[in-house]
A and B are shown apart, each in its own frame.
Chain A
Amino acid sequence: MNHDFNELRLDGVTRRFAGAGGQAFAALNELTLTIKRGEFIALLGPSGCGKSTALNCIAGLMQLSGGSIWLDSTRIDTLPPEKRGFGMVFQNYALFPHMTVARNVGFGLKMRGLSDAEIAPRVAHAMKLVQLVGQENKLPGQLSGGQQQRVAIARAIVIEPPLVLMDEPLSNLDAKLRIETRAEIRRIHKELGRATIYVTHDQDEALSLADRIVVMKDGVVQQIAAPSDVYGQPANLHVARFMGYRNVLELKVDAEEGDRVTLSGPDVRLVGMRKQPLSGGRASVAMRPEEFVLGAGPEGTNTIAGRVDNVEYCGRDSLVDVITASGTLLHVRATGTPAVGDSVAVHVPVERVLVYPIELPK
């Protein structure tokens, strides 16, 4: 199984659990995805969205309830994890506490029946790759969290797996270490060219690492796209909210011309771009705080007037809450620092107002 591959195909992968009252619920529903050789895929979503379930199904640590997984023309979802040969990095590292760093890293090679003489140079190479030369004879407990995570990465890649699986590998590290290790993971991926599936709830990690992002919610895939598309053109309102479109207003649809939609509320009149078919005369608009600009727009387009309600100073800019006369609250990032109580106008470009169908109440 330890060979290179052209594509890994997930075909309708489903995993159901017994829920409350004996009713089965699908933690992962019909995930269909093809991963090409060398690709870096991020599974992104809030906790409980099924992303870790998906990873465990691929690793073989969880049985599928439906669907199949294929590595080129080999069906692998019926194989136990030890026959799949994927390298996995766990959230809490899962280093073997009774083995030295070198023996941890060499464990996978030992299980493949290699001799100590064959293992040593490959372990040394992996240690160099994760920049831990000199720590070989320590026990995991003697290392810092960041070092332990790098041992875990070395242990997963030393077996030269066709696919590397990472389950929130950075979530136990502090902010600074997180960014450093993130860059490390990107570098190692570039150097080895191994296909990687990376599970995270952090958009920044997904955006900075992945070639493609799979956004999930409640076990269902919401969008599969390149980072810039997920960031700029969310497929639906869930993705938009998750990607930082904090301003979501429900408005009346006045006119639709092609993708351009004109909408209005009590004291708001906006023109935006339709992302999904609308119906029922009402729609939700989603806008990022970063895309507002203080002052009136050209010819007054998409200009909203209001009063400054709160200002949070953030260094490079400020997060300003603006309330309109009818009580609509807008979050705006602004470089100036308006004072609380000031009357201000803000505007937003037409192509950055995304229009979606209204959310149906659950």
Chain B
Amino acid sequence: MSSATAALDSPRAPFDRALLLVVPAAAFMLLLFVYPFLYGLALSFNPKEGGALANYTHFFTTDNLWPTIWTTLRLALPATLINVGLALPIAFKMRVKSPYQRWATTILVVPITLGTVLIAEGMLTYFGPKGWLAQFLQFFHIYEGSIRLTHNYWGVLISLVISGFPFAFLLILSYITGIDPVLARAASTLGANPRAQFRTIYLPLLAPGLAMCFCLAFVQAFSVFPSAVLLGSPAGPTRVISIAAYEAAFEQYDYSLASAIAMIMGFVQLLIVAAVLGVRNLMYRGPVSGGKG
């Protein structure tokens, strides 16, 4: 209504020259994202042999290709759920300023600066069959059996949690600190104990942020590659979809098939993200403060 009257009052908004500032970013996007994406999309429909869809039919009929979708999902979904699920209570505890808040936050965030390769190095010495953890457990007779937490599914999962957790934690912490604490105080005067305050106030207000955090953490985990190679068994249980794409591109030099795999990978991610964001649209997404500040 107001925009209609505004349109009547001013014949046409003058060109805002500040918009020109967007040009470099737009050009960057076009050159480095949109063009390669479209190029890859077109390439995936031009296979070495066969019709336009030959790559896709090849992927879904070859026994060491199509299961990589499940292998990747089996790693990425639990890792994401663990990360978001762990980060939520810890971030909730960290929301109030305290002397240790800064130290705890720093320690929790350090892994984000390390990079997957360094984490993998550390994990191999720590979690390996002759690593510190195994030696410790056996020395104190806590667990006598052989411990295999590297070069299998668990190694990759642990690595995804270590590298993905700080990211989820920081994101959720910023969502939580954005919620006006006076709302929880108001709930407490109305009879809500801390558990009820969390359930009725914090959780509903956080839900859209958690959904967003889930999407970002999932996309990050889904494209796992270095830790799947270094800490997993890239020929077997952790043969993730990015490994399949890598092999197609750099071992078989079939860029067309590699592009098709990349497209399938993107499509699966898109499906999950769209589903989560679809649920998010059903939730309350307004301001998270309780009136005039």
Q: Are A140 and B185 in contact (CB under 8 A)?
A: no
Shortest CB-to-CB span from B180 to chain A, Å, is: 7
Distance of A328 Cα from B232 Cα, bound (Å): 89
Determine the chain B residues whose CB is within 8 A of the CB of A148 once the complex forms. 291-292
Known: A61-B185, A88-B186, A139-B286. A94 touches B191 (CB 8 A): no
Q: Are B200 and A107 in contact (CB under 8 A)?
A: yes
Q: Are A80 and B290 in contact (CB under 8 A)?
A: no
The 10 closest A-B pairs by CB, nearest first: A93-B291, A108-B190, A111-B191, A98-B284, A94-B186, A94-B290, A88-B189, A81-B188, A94-B182, A172-B292
Task: Give B179-223 interface residues, CB cut-off 8 Å to A.
Answer: 180, 182-183, 185-193, 196, 200-201, 204-205
Cross-chain contact of B189 among A87, A96, A139, A141 (Cβ < 8 A): A87
Q: Is B177 an interface residue (CB 8 A)?
A: no
Determine the chain B residues whose CB is within 8 A of the CB of A140 once the complex forms. 290-291
Distance of A229 Cα from B196 Cα, bound (Å): 45
A59-98 interface mask toward B, CB cutoff 8 Å, 1 = contact, 0 = none?
1110000000000000000001110111110101111111
Shortest CB-to-CB span from B179 to chain A, Å, is: 10
Shortest CB-to-CB span from B47 to chain A, Å, is: 51
Q: Are A97 and B288 in contact (CB under 8 A)?
A: yes
Closest B residue to A92 by beta carbon equals: B291
Number of interface residues of A (CB under 8 A): 34
Determine the chain A residues whose CB is within 8 A of the CB of B145 once the complex forms. none
Determine the chain A residues whose CB is within 8 A of the CB of B200 once the complex forms. 96, 107
Central interface residue in B290, B291, B292, by most chain A CB within 10 Å: B291
Q: Is A9 an interface residue (CB 8 A)?
A: no
Determine the chain A residues whose CB is within 8 A of the CB of B101 once the complex forms. none
Task: Give A126-178 interface residues, CB cut-off 8 Å to B.
Answer: 139-141, 145, 148, 152, 155-156, 159, 165, 172
A-B contact count (CB 8 A): 97
Q: Is A112 an interface residue (CB 8 A)?
A: yes
Q: Is B138 an interface residue (CB 8 A)?
A: no
Q: Are B188 and A107 in contact (CB under 8 A)?
A: no
Q: Are B290 and A97 in contact (CB under 8 A)?
A: yes
Q: Are A111 and B183 in contact (CB under 8 A)?
A: no
Q: Are A98 and B191 in contact (CB under 8 A)?
A: no
Distance of A68 Cα from B185 Cα, bound (Å): 21
Closest A residue to B207 by beta carbon equals: A98
Q: Are B191 and A112 in contact (CB under 8 A)?
A: yes
Distance of A97 Cα from B293 Cα, bound (Å): 13
Shortest CB-to-CB span from B290 to chain A, Å, is: 4
Cross-chain contact of A98 among B187, B188, B192, B205 (Cβ < 8 A): B205
Distance of A190 Cα from B205 Cα, bound (Å): 37
Distance of A81 Cα from B191 Cα, bound (Å): 7
Q: Are A81 and B189 in contact (CB under 8 A)?
A: yes
Interface size for chain B: under 10, 10 to 19, 20 to 34, or 35 or more residues? 20 to 34
Q: Are A96 and B183 in contact (CB under 8 A)?
A: yes
Q: Are B291 and A107 in contact (CB under 8 A)?
A: no
Q: Are B191 and A82 in contact (CB under 8 A)?
A: yes
Distance of A112 Cα from B193 Cα, bound (Å): 11
Q: Are B190 and A93 in contact (CB under 8 A)?
A: no
Cross-chain contact of A92 among B193, B286, B288, B290 (Cβ < 8 A): B290
Contacts A/B (CB < 8 Å), 29 sampled: A81-B185, A81-B189, A82-B188, A82-B189, A82-B190, A82-B192, A82-B193, A84-B189, A88-B186, A90-B186, A90-B290, A92-B293, A94-B186, A95-B291, A96-B183, A96-B187, A97-B287, A97-B288, A98-B205, A98-B286, A107-B187, A107-B192, A111-B192, A111-B196, A141-B287, A145-B292, A152-B291, A159-B191, A172-B292
Task: Give B151-198 interface residues, CB cut-off 8 Å to A.
Answer: 180, 182-183, 185-193, 196
Closest A residue to B205 by beta carbon equals: A98
Q: Are A93 and B288 in contact (CB under 8 A)?
A: no
Closest B residue to A2 by beta carbon equals: B191
Determine the chain A residues whose CB is within 8 A of the CB of B196 once the complex forms. 82, 111
Q: Are A98 and B204 in contact (CB under 8 A)?
A: yes
Known: A94-B183, A94-B290. A61 touches B204 (CB 8 A): no
Determine the chain A residues whose CB is within 8 A of the CB of B290 once the complex forms. 90, 92-97, 140
Determine the chain A residues whose CB is within 8 A of the CB of B183 once the complex forms. 94, 96-97
Determine the chain B residues whose CB is within 8 A of the CB of A155 once the complex forms. 190
- 11 A-B pairs besides A98-B286, A107-B200 with CB distance below 8 A are A60-B188, A82-B196, A86-B189, A92-B289, A93-B290, A96-B201, A98-B284, A107-B190, A111-B191, A152-B291, A156-B189
Central interface residue in B180, B185, B196, by most chain A CB within 10 Å: B185
Distance of A140 Cα from B288 Cα, bound (Å): 11
Distance of A112 Cα from B180 Cα, bound (Å): 24
Known: A96-B183, A96-B201, A107-B200. A80 touches B188 (CB 8 A): yes
Determine the chain A residues whose CB is within 8 A of the CB of B204 once the complex forms. 98
Distance of A154 Cα from B8 Cα, bound (Å): 43
Q: Are A97 and B205 in contact (CB under 8 A)?
A: yes
Determine the chain A residues whose CB is within 8 A of the CB of B205 once the complex forms. 97-98
